[in-house]
């Protein structure tokens, strides 16, 4: 189960691990009021399409929400269906009718999706998120892939990711999934301490973690990620360092680190208040983030997005679609798509979702005009998503799409943060521009001559202030 990143709640199943669910404009706006640690992204300079037109491109990615879990974790507020202990046997071949009925409805949604044009590129990424997708039998996963292939087409070399929890799959199931095309595994470890896993309400223990890692490696999965959660109850720096060290020893090609967010409608929301014992203080949480950044970078991982680290060549292609603000399909309970400039969330309750699919088949739509945003909204999304990434905000592309005035306003509001080192200025070759040179730019206007090409947040301290810094950029653009 994915724990949402500490900045923006990207996917109700992201996003982000990588799924899309809560990537609505309203959640983007509300996110700046939250506390959070950070991450990075690929810059947009390689895009020849204007930022104003990017969202009009046909999607080449699809997020699939498979909401089944053995039980609900204490921090989880995602739309899930708890199957109970009957789902615990990885070798059980019996099809749960709840899974069968849901998968049938999901495939109906895919097939009923309206396409503007038959000349659409095939899918380049597919992400099965949840929930715990590895609870779904491979033959039913195959039915979803078949539906996607029939409707959109799927590239032969597509990145097909699946979230998998320890204790929910064996070697046989994983090999079946790989034969279907699954070539990237996101392993929901969360912690390496038995007491922390129990405190979170996780359905697996440490023994299952090591077994899962062994299975992933023995099956030859080259591209795999491991999820960790920081700021858990009674977690201290020593425990956190141990989890990081054991993660590094396991040698995943990708690591996602999420800071615990206490949601009101969860068991943790009833038991705990953020920043109060037994939860770590905000200063302790910030130190957890700094330690993760240092240890993982020292181990050869690129900190390419606020919550994401990878070995060279192993950035998650699917999640990069989100950070680049490109369109994507989403299917299933509570998921949110971004197509033709509109972000649209499906119902979070199963009955309402089934009604939605029926309405879709009958030609009825439920897109709200409130979800359609203008150029200014788009500019704010670009700022927020870009500054979550290591590459930062591409000022040339931004200027071409939205004009000079916004860049000047953002540079002015960031001036003290450039001086403090929380915001870094880069030229077109990615070289750091000296603080004094940046400060003098307001008199000689060298930024207009494209000397200043990118703004990015420093790692880790700038990322730790990402909410505040992004909020400042939003305010600089206010009328």
Evaluated on CA atoms 378, 457, 32, 233, the torsion sign reads positive
Can you give the pLDDT at residue 373?
54
Confidence of residue 445 (pLDDT cuts 50, 70, 90): low
Per-residue model confidence as pLDDT tens digits over 234-260: 999 999 999 999 999 999 999 999 999
According to DSSP, the β-strands at 154-164 and 184-190 are parallel
Find the range with the poorest average confidence among 212-216, 275-279, 375-379, 443-447.
Answer: 443-447
On the question of pLDDT at 437 being above 70, the answer is yes
Bridge partners of 224, per DSSP, are: 185
Q: What angle do CA 219, 126, 315 make, to 5 degrees?
A: 70
d(CA 458, CA 392): 10
Share of the chain above pLDDT 90, in %: 71
The pLDDT of 40-54, averaged and rounded, is 56
Can you give the pLDDT at residue 408?
87
Can you give the pLDDT at residue 451?
82
Can you give the pLDDT at residue 443?
57
Per-residue model confidence as pLDDT tens digits over 325-344: 999 999 999 999 999 888 89
Q: What angle do CA 408, 36, 415 make, to 5 degrees?
A: 25
List domains and CATH numbers for the chain: 61-322 (3.20.20.70), 375-477 (1.10.10)
Can you give the pLDDT at residue 366?
59
Can you give the pLDDT at residue 86?
60
Per-residue model confidence as pLDDT tens digits over 59-118: 999 999 999 999 999 999 999 999 987 655 544 557 899 999 999 999 999 999 988 776
φ/ψ of residue 230, rounded to 5: -105, 165
Confidence of residue 371 (pLDDT cuts 50, 70, 90): low
Higher pLDDT, 3 or 270: 270
Give residue for tokens 């491991």.
226
Can you give the pLDDT at residue 450?
65
Per-residue model confidence as pLDDT tens digits over 297-329: 999 999 999 999 999 999 999 999 999 999 999
Can you give the pLDDT at residue 375?
81
Give residue for tokens 């990434």.
389
Give residue for tokens 């969330």.
345
d(CA 333, CA 134): 17
The pLDDT of 165-179, averaged and rounded, is 98
* Nearest C-alpha neighbor of 463 from the set 315, 335, 345, 288: 288
On the question of pLDDT at 36 being above 90, the answer is no
On the question of pLDDT at 40 being above 60, the answer is no
Share of the chain above pLDDT 70, in %: 83
On the question of pLDDT at 228 being above 80, the answer is yes
Can you give the pLDDT at residue 23?
32
The pLDDT of 158-185, averaged and rounded, is 98
DSSP 328: B
Can you give the pLDDT at residue 33?
32
Can you give the pLDDT at residue 21?
34
Tell me what the pLDDT averaged over the chain comes to.
Answer: 86
* Nearest C-alpha neighbor of 359 from the set 371, 343, 347: 347
On the question of pLDDT at 356 being above 90, the answer is yes
The pLDDT of 282-289, averaged and rounded, is 96
The pLDDT of 427-453, averaged and rounded, is 76
Higher pLDDT, 25 or 107: 107
On the question of pLDDT at 31 being above 90, the answer is no
Non-local CB neighbours of 445 within 8 Å, separated by 6+ positions: none
d(CA 279, CA 262): 10
On the question of pLDDT at 38 being above 60, the answer is no
């Amino acid at each position: 189960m994915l724990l949402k990143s500490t900045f923006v709640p990207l996917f109700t199943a992201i996003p982000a691990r990588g799924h899309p669910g809560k990537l609505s404009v309203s959640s983007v706006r509300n996110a700046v009021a939250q506390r959070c640690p950070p991450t990075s992204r690929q810059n947009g300079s390689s895009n020849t399409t204007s930022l104003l037109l990017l969202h009009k491109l046909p999607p080449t990615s699809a997020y699939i929400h498979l909401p089944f879990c053995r039980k609900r974790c204490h921090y989880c507020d995602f739309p899930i269906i708890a199957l109970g202990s009957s789902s615990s046997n990885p070798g059980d071949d019996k099809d749960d009718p709840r899974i069968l009925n849901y998968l049938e409805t999901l495939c109906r949604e895919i097939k009923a999706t309206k396409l503007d044009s038959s000349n659409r590129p095939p899918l380049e990424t597919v992400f099965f998120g949840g929930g715990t997708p590895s609870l779904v039998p491979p033959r039913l996963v195959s039915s979803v892939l078949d539906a996607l292939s029939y409707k959109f087409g799927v590239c032969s070399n597509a990145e097909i990711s699946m979230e998998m929890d320890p204790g929910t799959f064996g070697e046989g199931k994983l090999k079946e999934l790989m034969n279907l095309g699954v070539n990237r595994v996101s392993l929901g470890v969360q912690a390496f301490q038995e007491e922390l896993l129990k405190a979170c309400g996780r359905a697996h223990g440490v023994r299952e973690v090591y077994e899962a890692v062994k299975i992933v490696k023995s099956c030859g999965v080259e591209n795999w990620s491991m999820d960790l959660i920081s700021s858990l109850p009674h977690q201290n720096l020593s425990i956190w360092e141990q989890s990081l060290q054991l993660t590094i020893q396991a040698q995943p090609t990708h690591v996602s680190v999420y800071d615990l967010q206490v949601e009101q409608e969860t068991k943790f929301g009833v038991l705990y208040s953020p920043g109060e014992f037994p939860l770590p203080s905000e200063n302790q949480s910030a130190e957890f983030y700094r330690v993760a950044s240092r240890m993982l970078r020292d181990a050869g991982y690129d900190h390419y997005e606020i919550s994401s680290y990878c070995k060279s060549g192993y950035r998650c292609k699917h999640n990069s679609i989100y950070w680049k603000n490109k369109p994507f399909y989403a299917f299933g309970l509570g998921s949110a798509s971004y197509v033709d400039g509109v972000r649209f969330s499906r119902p979070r309750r199963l009955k309402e979702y089934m009604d939605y699919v029926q309405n879709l088949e009958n030609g009825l739509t439920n897109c709200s005009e409130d979800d359609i945003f203008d150029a200014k909204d788009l500019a704010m999304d670009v700022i927020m998503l870009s500054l979550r990434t290591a590459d930062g905000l591409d000022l040339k592309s931004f200027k071409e799409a939205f004009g000079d005035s916004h860049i000047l306003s953002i540079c002015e509001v960031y001036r003290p943060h450039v001086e403090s080192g929380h915001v870094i200025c880069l030229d077109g070759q990615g070289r750091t521009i000296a603080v004094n040179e940046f400060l003098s730019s307001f008199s000689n206007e060298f930024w207009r001559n494209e000397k200043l090409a990118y703004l990015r947040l420093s790692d880790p301290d700038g990322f730790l202030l990402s909410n505040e810094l992004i909020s400042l950029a939003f305010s600089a653009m206010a009328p």
